[in-house]
Amino acid sequence: MKIICEKCGFTMNLDKSRIPEKGAKGKCPKCRHIFTIKNPGTGVSDNANKSQKTLYWLQGGGCGGDTWAFFNSEPPETSELINDLNIRLLWHPSISNHSIAAQNKLNNDLLSGKQALDILCIEGSIIRGPGGTGMFDTLLGKPKKDIAASLANKASYVLAVGTCASFGGIGADGEIEATGMQFQKWTPGGFMGENFKTKSGLPIINLPGCPCHGGVISGAIAALVSGIPLKLNQYNIPLEWYGTLVHQGCTRNEYHEYRVEEKKIGEKGCLFFYLGCHGPLVYGPCNKMLWNRRSSKTRVGVPCFGCTRPDFPQQYPFFKTRNIEGIPIELPDGVNRAHYLAYKGIAAAAAPERLKKRKTGI
Amino acid sequence: MSRKYIFPINRVEGDLEIQVELKDGIITEAWSAGTMYRGFENIMKGRSPMDGLVITPRVCGICSTAHLKAAAKALDMAYNIVIPDTAKMIRNITMGVEMLQNDVRQAVLLFMCDFANPYYKDFPLFKEAVSRYEPLKGSSALQTLVESAAIIEITAVIGGQWPHSSFMVPGGVVSSPSINDINQCTYLLNRYRKWYEKQILGCRLERWAEVKNNLDLDKWLEESHLHADSDLGFFIRFSKKAGLDKIGKGHGNFICFGSFDMPENTDIKSLNKGPKYLPAGFSQHTRIQALQEESIFEDSTCSWFKTDDRPLHPFEGLTIPYATGGEGKKYSWAKAPRYQGLPAETGPLAQMIIAENPLFTNLVSSKGPDVFSRELARIVRPAIIIPVLDKWIKEIARNMENFCRTYQEKESGKGFGLIEAPRGALGHWIHFKNEKIENYQIITPSAWNGSPRDLNGVRGPWEQALVGTSIQDTDNPVEAGHIIRSFDPCLVCTVHAI
Ligand code: SF4
Ligand code: SF4
């Protein structure tokens, strides 16, 4: 295990088995400061090391995509995040290997308060159907939604990971009566109610995206563990990752600037006027942090589908821009319609040949 | 006396509960219950046909490229388009790398993780298992997290992101990769190959290809400590000691929809000279027949849906949850797909059997399918597909012009896309009228494998595979976990989609 000197921050590795149960005095090899090294303990309900933060990942009505986005993020790679920040992962349904008995004990200890819960990550929507019973999603015959509620009441922080957990996402309009933890699409409330606060005094923090970018998930976890405050907007979304439009940083920005548009898929150009790109309408880090360290949908020619927005998935067709006489109904967030149209007209007239002829190689 | 138990199974992508009846510690009956319904097929109704490309990848977070491909192929058929070779290659490559990331993740993080379960604490190989597979700590687990995330970067280079991009469209793909993109893909695949050869296989792909039967397998294991010490070598040593080649037998029926559409112009030859590199087919043990789409039906006698008086072809499929009728019989959110009325297992082992791979044909014809052969097929599948993907990545560079063919949109149409997802046979069926979806049906691989009983009371494949297994500790039923996980179950697909 890693031992960090409380004075100078020097890190060293020590074999866990060499630390007696009660802990031991140790001297930092760098600054010579003497301090107590605590035994991290072993059992599921052992709370010996108070500085160690615990994390529990619950999956509800979702596809598991946020989990895999998280496992694909790097740096820090998932194991680095967990191990280096000294997080104790109590449970993740895709990697934990507890026995059924150990898992039951853990859940009981969490609910009785014997086991402290610092961060609860919820992935997937809260399924309330049919008729509010939640029986479309059960664990051992009981609705999963009840488990989500009891854990949320115990946790210091709750992260709603992905658009389903944040706003309802897939199924929010349908028979499964899906909702987000504290929002139903644009409306505050959702499953836990508008006034709900976690033990830390914060509301549920929403990390939308379908899936949420893995770097956002690890960044948010790291911030909470390290006590760095996150500034939230009116949808309880941290501005750190959702302060800019998806459009910002797209390699097609120059096409957009001069209104050189892609009318048919694969033509190259900006996807805003015809192919339904939501880049200028929704907030997210896709073109800033990039996906899988490589690219983004809009860079390769897939329109942004607005998957971070509370109304995703939209009720009108994808791959088409809703327009009135060729002008999109929804314009870039915050622009004045008349000014924007005048500017676009002039921009199109000023478009250079190298863009019109797609000579840029993008 | 027999008693009933419920085993919730984790590390299976989604929610699964197995109910078993035990008599003297032996499973005498098993019921597999998917415990969630997400209603995708009804969400699709009334939407634009193209929306399937955006909505259906969200069925599953670990095989979203597979759903995208099935959705795109169903539209290709509905619009009657033949896509260009370059697009075929791109679809094949991205589908292939989804298998590459899945196979090592499943083997190391989900399956062999159980070797480090306290159940085995007195087992001679336990210490080694813990040092390799302990979650987030074991040496192989750590490497697998990094390398599986690295190989899927290929899909991001070509398709923008993974999971959940929509870069395949009717007519081809939206992207037009540059020479530099192609070089990056080559580099990423080489990197994965080197790691896979060193860590997972313990030998070159070429050496592994010489293993053609059970005897060759023993010889390979003894030949070098590099073989015995690799994850594959450890898997074989552990499985044989733990008797995994004796449990999880199943019906012995296999189904494969075929994978990797052959480009017209390529140096690769498909395994049976047919239109797909891995051929489609159905087999009872090793008696293989050609696949006929008309023979696929879904039965919902034991599923929590309205039941027709007969199994329905997917074009007629109904998805009406919690309708009345059939009380007492229903126990799962999964429907029961059947081929010519029979249950069938699907996945890498089925692919190998239908492709007449000598090693797996030998293993299955001598002992029938079991946990060992099923998991082995998955661990070594990358060895078969890496060289093919490598060739296609290079061949794309021959013609970088045309990645998408234009076509005439139609107001109404019907089509299906049958493909192989990482976990096996996946089908999408679409029917649209006046540019709106009338009916959309999805049959996922885990619907085949984890299906409940049908109207004749015949068990689904993994229910069947569980019967007869002895369980040592009902608080920690590791044996049941091995059997279920050898099918690489993906319940998010199965139940969410139905
Ligand atoms: S938000 Fe998207 S990625 Fe996350 S669970 Fe829902 S469908 Fe899956
Ligand atoms: S394609 Fe979309 S994100 Fe890119 S420049 Fe155009 S509108 Fe912006």
Q: What is the pLDDT of residue A1?
A: 64
Q: What is the pLDDT of residues A179-207, one digit of tens each?
A: 999 999 999 999 999 999 999 999 999 99
Q: What is the pLDDT of residue B495?
A: 45
* Cα separation, B346 vs B423, whole angstroms: 7
The answer on pLDDT for A48 being more than 60 is: no
Secondary structure class of B422 (helix, strand, coil): coil
Q: Which CA distances in Å does B470 have to A308, A334, B20, B374, B479?
A: 48, 65, 11, 19, 8
Q: What is the pLDDT of residue B247?
A: 97
Sorted by sequence, the CB contacts under 8 Å of residue A145 that are 6+ apart come out as A60, A126, A127, A128, A134, A137, A191
| Residue A62 Cβ < 6 Å to ligand 1 | yes
Q: What is the pLDDT of residue B409?
A: 87
A28 annotated ligand binder: no
A286 annotated ligand binder: yes
Q: Rounded mean pLDDT of B121-129?
A: 96
CA A285 / ligand 2 centre spacing (Å): 13
Kindly give the number of the ligand 2 atom that is closest to the alpha carbon of A271: 1
Please tell me the distance in Å from A82's CA to the nearest CA on chain B. Answer: 8
Q: What is the pLDDT of residue A39?
A: 59
Sorted by sequence, the CB contacts under 8 Å of residue A321 that are 6+ apart come out as A272, A273, A274, A275, A276, A277, A328
| Residue A171 Cβ < 6 Å to ligand 1 | no
* Cα separation, B53 vs B166, whole angstroms: 6
CB contact under 8 A, A69 and B163: yes
β-strand partners of B414: B431
B96: how many CB neighbours lie within 10 A of its CB? 27
Please tell me the distance in Å from A96's CA to the nearest CA on chain B. Answer: 6
Measure CA of the first residue to CA of the last residue in chain A; give whole Å: 48
pLDDT averaged over every residue in chain B? 93
* Burial classification of residue B50, based on how many CB atoms lie within 10 Å of its CB (0-12 exposed, 13-18 middle, 19 or more buried): buried
Q: Rounded mean pLDDT of B459-467?
A: 96
Question: Which residues of chain A from 48 to 77 reach within 8 Å of chain B, CB to CB?
Answer: 59, 61-69, 71-74, 77
Q: What is the pLDDT of residue B272?
A: 87
ipTM (interface pTM) = 0.94
When pLDDT is cut at 50, 70 and 90, the band that residue B410 belongs to is very high
CB contact under 8 A, B149 and A140: no
Which amino acid appears at position B469 of this protein? T
When pLDDT is cut at 50, 70 and 90, the band that residue B496 belongs to is very low
Q: Which of A57, A144, A163 to mutate to test the pocket of ligand 1 (most atoms within 8 A of CB)?
A: A163
When pLDDT is cut at 50, 70 and 90, the band that residue B161 belongs to is very high
When pLDDT is cut at 50, 70 and 90, the band that residue B369 belongs to is very high
Q: What is the pLDDT of residue B58?
A: 94
β-strand partners of B7: B18
Measure CA of the first residue to CA of the last residue in chain B; give whole Å: 37
DSSP H or E stretch at residue B438: strand B436-443
Q: What is the pLDDT of residue B273?
A: 86
Count how many pairs of residues, chain A against chain B, have C-beta atoms within 8 Å: 227
B256 annotated ligand binder: no
The answer on pLDDT for B250 being more than 70 is: yes
* Cα separation, A56 vs A38, whole angstroms: 23
A210 annotated ligand binder: yes
Find, among A10, A235, A38, A305, the residue nearest to B68 by Cα: A305
B496 annotated ligand binder: yes
The answer to whether B20 and B488 are in contact (CB under 8 A) is no
CA A232 / ligand 2 centre spacing (Å): 26
The answer to whether B240 and B222 are in contact (CB under 8 A) is no
* Cα separation, A4 vs B265, whole angstroms: 60
When pLDDT is cut at 50, 70 and 90, the band that residue B440 belongs to is very high
CA A262 / ligand 2 centre spacing (Å): 10
Give yes or no for A293 touching B (CB within 8 A). yes
When pLDDT is cut at 50, 70 and 90, the band that residue A9 belongs to is low
* Cα separation, B239 vs A193, whole angstroms: 50
CB contact under 8 A, A139 and B55: no
Question: Which residues of chain A from 14 to 53 reach within 8 Å of chain B, CB to CB?
Answer: none
Question: Chain A residues with CB inside 8 Å of B442's CB?
Answer: none
Which residue has better confidence, A288 or B368?
A288
The answer on pLDDT for A18 being more than 70 is: no
- Strands A183-184 and A138-139, bridge-based pairing: unpaired
B185: how many CB neighbours lie within 10 A of its CB? 26
The two three-digit tokens of residue B47, written as one number: 């939407």
CA B37 / ligand 1 centre spacing (Å): 15
Q: What are the phi and psi torsion angles at B346 (to 5°)? A: -140, 160
Please tell me the distance in Å from B272's CA to the nearest CA on chain A. Answer: 34
β-strand partners of B426: B419
* Cα separation, B478 vs B243, whole angstroms: 13
Kindly give the number of the ligand 1 atom that is closest to the alpha carbon of A69: 3
Cα–chain center distance at A80 = 18
Q: What is the pLDDT of residues A19-44, one digit of tens each?
A: 666 667 677 676 676 766 765 544 33
The answer on pLDDT for B466 being more than 90 is: yes
| Residue A278 Cβ < 6 Å to ligand 2 | no
Residue with structure tokens 């600037």? Answer: A257
> A70-79, B314-323, B479-488: which range is least confident on average?
B314-323
Q: What is the pLDDT of residue B87?
A: 96
Question: Which residues of chain A from 160 to 189 reach within 8 Å of chain B, CB to CB?
Answer: 170-171, 173-176
What is the residue-wise DSSP string for B449-495? HT----TT-PPPHHHHHHTT-B-S-TTS-HHHHHHHHHT---HHHHH
What is the residue-wise DSSP string for B161-196? -SSS---EETTEES----HHHHHHHHHHHHHHHHHI
Kindly give the number of the ligand 2 atom that is closest to the alpha carbon of A304: 2
| Residue A277 Cβ < 6 Å to ligand 2 | yes
Please tell me the distance in Å from B109's CA to the nearest CA on chain A. Answer: 6
**For ligand 2, atom 6: residue with the closest CA:** A270
3-class secondary structure for A21-79? Answer: CCCEEEECCCCCCEEEECCCCCCCCCCCCCCCEEEEEEECECCCHHHHHHHCCCCCCHH
Point out the ligand nearest to the CA of residue A287. Answer: 2
* Cα separation, A100 vs A116, whole angstroms: 20
Find, among B323, B362, B376, the residue nearest to B488 by Cα: B376
Question: Which residues of chain A from 311 to 340 reach within 8 Å of chain B, CB to CB?
Answer: 313, 317-320
DSSP H or E stretch at residue B297: strand B296-299
The answer on pLDDT for B371 being more than 50 is: yes
Q: Rounded mean pLDDT of B281-305?
A: 94
Q: Rounded mean pLDDT of B148-172?
A: 97
Find, among A214, A125, A182, the residue nearest to B496 by Cα: A125
When pLDDT is cut at 50, 70 and 90, the band that residue A240 belongs to is very high
CA A76 / ligand 2 centre spacing (Å): 29
CA B378 / ligand 1 centre spacing (Å): 26
The answer on pLDDT for B398 being more than 80 is: yes
Q: What is the pLDDT of residue B498?
A: 31
Q: What is the pLDDT of residue B13?
A: 61
When pLDDT is cut at 50, 70 and 90, the band that residue B492 belongs to is low
Secondary structure class of A201 (helix, strand, coil): coil
Question: Which residues of chain A from 79 to 138 reach within 8 Å of chain B, CB to CB?
Answer: 79, 82-83, 89, 93-97, 99-101, 103, 127, 130, 136-138
Q: Rounded mean pLDDT of B181-189?
A: 97
Nearest residue in chain B measured CA to CA from A209:
B164
CA A161 / ligand 1 centre spacing (Å): 8
When pLDDT is cut at 50, 70 and 90, the band that residue A111 belongs to is very high
Q: What is the pLDDT of residue A44?
A: 37
The answer on pLDDT for B378 being more than 90 is: yes
Question: What number of residues does chain A have?
Answer: 362
Q: What is the pLDDT of residues A157-170, one digit of tens each?
A: 999 999 999 999 99
* Cα separation, A21 vs A32, whole angstroms: 23
CB contact under 8 A, A71 and B145: yes
* Cα separation, B71 vs B56, whole angstroms: 7
Q: What is the pLDDT of residue B1?
A: 66
The answer on pLDDT for A101 being more than 70 is: yes
Nearest residue in chain A measured CA to CA from B116:
A97
* Cα separation, A188 vs A236, whole angstroms: 10
Please tell me the distance in Å from A95's CA to the nearest CA on chain B. Answer: 6
Which residue has better confidence, A99 or A251?
A251
Q: What is the pLDDT of residue A2?
A: 65
Q: What is the pLDDT of residue B24?
A: 93
Kindly give the number of the ligand 2 atom that is closest to the alpha carbon of A252: 5
B122: how many CB neighbours lie within 10 A of its CB? 7
CB contact under 8 A, B164 and A211: yes
Q: Which of A123, A181, A185, A212 to mutate to test the pocket of ligand 1 (most atoms within 8 A of CB)?
A: A123
Q: What is the pLDDT of residue B327?
A: 66
